[in-house]
Amino acid sequence: MKIVYRVFLCIGLACVIPAQAQLAVTVSSPKVVGQKAVVELKMTNGFPEKIESARAVCFLLDEQGKMAGQATKWVIGGTKDRAALESKGETTFNFVITSSQPFATTNLTANVSFSRVILNGGKPANVIRDVSVTAQSQH
């Protein structure tokens, strides 16, 4: 009986379906003009409640993987002039990363990660489990 139970337990654990991300983020390729790079984020809220605020960091990497610039911003809410993101809602945010001198290359890659996501009522989300960041496919 114990063996049958263990077999069913192992099968049950193997069949666990991973949860889909509740905040889906698509990152565009950086657009560089002189001393500025703009990275557009397209975000979709899959939570059953609104996202009050979300904070992210964007790293710009050159073709050797060396950091060329970075910025940290509230990409949803966080300030009085930025609204929350309603459930099932979509929004965009443009990360503007400036440099003291023109970027040495225009062949940059953006790496975006989220440090905080706050849901309705101040409840924190698990950024590792609940946020999915993907690069926009190039055509």
Tens of pLDDT, residue by residue over 26-51, are 999 999 988 999 999 999 999 999 99
Please, what is the Cα angle at 69 between 77 and 37, to 5 degrees? Answer: 70
Class of domain 20-135: mainly beta
**Of 26, 23, 31, nearest to 109 (Cα)?**
31
Asked if 125 contacts 117 with a C-beta cutoff of 8 angstroms, the reply is yes
- Given pLDDT bands bounded at 50, 70 and 90, which one contains residue 12? very low
- Map 59-81 to HEC letters: EEECCCCCEEEEEEEEEECCCCC
Give residue-wise pLDDT tens across range 93-105.
Answer: 999 999 888 888 7
Q: Are 35 and 102 in contact (CB under 8 A)?
A: yes
